[in-house]
Amino acid sequence: MNDRIHAIVPAGGRGQRFGGPVPKQYLEVAGRPVLSHVLARFLQAVEIDFIAVPIAKSDVRFEELVEARDPRVLSAEGGTERALSVLAGITTLRAAGAGPSDWILVHDAARPLLTTGEIFALIEAIETPGCPGVVLAVPAADTLKRVDVLARTDEVADGAIGSTLVRDGIWHAMTPQAFRLSDLEHAIERALAAGHPVTDESSALEAMGTQPWLVRGRRSNIKLTYPEDIELVDAILRQRAK
């Protein structure tokens, strides 16, 4: 494949659901910041040319990471929301020589359990002729409930069950998600202009009629979202280190 591969790791979020004075991408797990684990994983893949990391303007922690000194890692000033940060990452990659047909892997800064095998699975998929883009995902394993928050009647409950959803064909989207640079840029710009929420990169492409492929990932590739996730992420990383 002649087209190059790059990554964007938006790292400007504050992690409001997680809480705490330190953004979750800089919390220490298994002896290193979360973002350090993420960048190290991408740097291990020689197929990836550059890794753009959009960060908050006030960020003073990023430059302290060992991985930030690698010439393949490029920082950028992120936006007020994820979609704008991804666009900032694309601008940075273009300045580094990325072309419109290059592939971009967008990955959450708070998913430090990504494996090299998952990255290679995505690369194998995008090397397939006609690939429209790829999303790492896992099929839903638990019974899914739609919650009716209006039916809440007790302070000890978080809501009431409105219905049980059919689980067949339901997958949990994860990251990385891979798309061609020009397709991703155009889709996000179009979604933002139309006022459509961009919950993930795939949703922007889907709004244009694209049907990205799914590549099955590992259930361990969880996103650090709530404080109780720290213990699990730390344990898995330490076990892998052994």
- pLDDT bucket at 34, cuts 50 / 70 / 90: very high
Domain residues for 67? Answer: 5-241
- Report the CATH number that the domain containing residue 169 is assigned in CATH: 3.90.550.10
Contacts for 61 with CB less than 8 Å, ≥ 6 apart: 23, 26, 33
The model's pLDDT over 111-143, given as tens digits with 9 standing for 90+, comes to 999 999 999 999 999 999 999 999 999 999 999
Task: Provide the number of structural domains found in the chain.
Answer: 1
| pTM for the model | 0.94
- pLDDT bucket at 242, cuts 50 / 70 / 90: confident
* For residue 33, pLDDT beyond 90: yes
The model's pLDDT over 157-179, given as tens digits with 9 standing for 90+, comes to 777 889 999 989 999 999 999 99
Contacts for 135 with CB less than 8 Å, ≥ 6 apart: 173, 174, 177, 178, 200, 202, 212, 213, 214, 215
Q: How far apart are CA 101 and CA 96, in angstroms?
A: 14
For residue 238, the tally of other CB atoms under 10 A from its CB is: 12
DSSP result, 112-171: TT--HHHHHHHHHHHTSTT---EEEEEE--SPPEEEEGGG---TT-S-EEEEEPP-TT-E
* For residue 16, pLDDT beyond 90: no
The model's pLDDT over 183-241, given as tens digits with 9 standing for 90+, comes to 999 999 999 999 998 999 999 999 999 999 999 999 999 999 999 999 999 999 999 99
Closest among 118, 157, 125, 161 to 143, alpha carbons compared: 161
